[in-house]
Amino acid sequence: MLVYYEFWRYTNMKEQIISEITRQMLPYLDNAQLEHLLETLQHCLWSVEVIEKPEGAVQRNTETNEELLTMFLSAKRVEGCSEKTLRYYETSLQKMFSQVDSHVTHMTTDALRNYLSEYQQKSQCSKSNIDNIRRILSSFFAWLEDENYIMKSPVRRIHKIRSSKTVKETYTDEALETMRDQCGSVRDLAMIDLLASTGMRVGELVHLNREDIDFENRECVVFGKGSKERPVYFDARTKIHLKNYLDSRKDDNPALFVSLLSPHNRLEISGVELCLRKLGRRLGIMKVHPHKFRRTLATRAIDKGMPIEQVQRLLGHAKIDTTMQYAMVNQNNVKISHRKYIG
């Protein structure tokens, strides 16, 4: 059996190899483990002839970082990740490749930890954003481990980056009614009501078609993250305003929400965000954006006693922890409960 190994030009190359492997493992193993490693190497290499790799010999082909990234993204696509998520994965990992000058199979915990630290310092991004990147690295190296490209993920010892939890705002009843009264068009009124009563994501909203709306049962089916479909429900007021909006339409676009001006194209996420942002500025309401309707619905549902598991299904969350992050406890109710149960 021949093992081609590029190493120093010593007479007894096998002993030099064993010695160097043992030396490099010194920081990671205690004396007993080093002794066992030495015995194992001597036993496994007993019948192996080690010769110097001849000049010009071609090294065995291995996948490049880019090739492994492509394979990883393909695996995630099969698992149902959206193209938006895949682009985020690709951009984040490409940036890491450009900064950590090493093949992924040789990257260490320290190198990746230093990368995250330097990235945060240079970009001045939040701890939550850095933790998102850590999670992407963790997913990538866990895949490499599962596929036997590496023995152990170097990200295992990089723990979750804790960030200060801030209570995110929800809309007050007054703010919602003001937006309904002053939005200025039947389209925007229907859109605000649908977001407020269903808690759907803005990405789900813009993909809805007219035929998706079941007015009789006041529900519609949306396609959430990972192309998962789920039913959402709207109230009677939303039903009336949706019907008024659709009755006022003169175009034949199948999309549920379209631009106000010709050629009445399907409204995109950026269009919804811009519309609500302008409305908020005009009315003096801070931080008006689509996701805030979703958070408001979750908070109020739990505040009124809706079981958290049902709120989870309503919002389409895979993990209940995500639902808990959306549902902020109303401090006034804490005060009332304190007086009721404690005095």
In order of their start, the domains of the chain are: 2-52 (no CATH), 67-146 (1.10.150), 173-335 (1.10.443.10)
Q: What is the pLDDT of residue 93?
A: 95
pLDDT band of residue 125 (cuts 50, 70, 90) is confident
| Angle formed by the axes of helices 109-123 and 127-146, nearest 10° | 150
* Contact by Cβ (8 Å): 179, 288: yes
What is the percent of the chain with per-residue pLDDT over 70, rounded to a whole number? 87
Cα-based angle 201, 203, 206 (whole degrees, multiple of 5):
110
Residue 336 has what pLDDT?
Answer: 66
- How far is Cα 7 from Cα 15, in angstroms, rounded to an integer? 12
* Lowest-pLDDT range of 12-21, 52-61, 68-77, 126-135: 52-61
Give pLDDT, residue 337: 65
With beta carbons less than 8 A apart as the criterion, state whether 147 and 105 touch.
no
Which tokens hold the place of 338?
């304190």
| Nearest CA among 265, 251, 269 for reference residue 205 | 269
Q: What is the pLDDT of residue 144?
A: 92
- pLDDT at position 315: 87
Identify the band that residue 34 occupies on the pLDDT scale cut at 50, 70 and 90: confident
Residue 273 pLDDT greater than 90, yes or no: yes
CA 59 → CA 37, 54, 101, 147, distances in Å? 27, 11, 20, 22
Amino acid found at 35: E
Please tell me which residue, 296 or 321, carries the higher pLDDT value. 296
Largest CA distance in the chain: 90
Residue 296 burial (C-beta neighbours within 10 Å; 0-12, 13-18, 19+)? buried
* CB-CB contact of 201 with 192 (8 Å): no
Cβ atoms of residues 275 and 183 within 8 Å = no
pLDDT score for 11:
37
pLDDT of residue 3: 38
Which pTM value belongs to this model? Answer: 0.63
Which has the minimum average pLDDT: 14-18, 112-116, 161-165, 243-247?
161-165
Contact 166, 125 (CB under 8 A): no
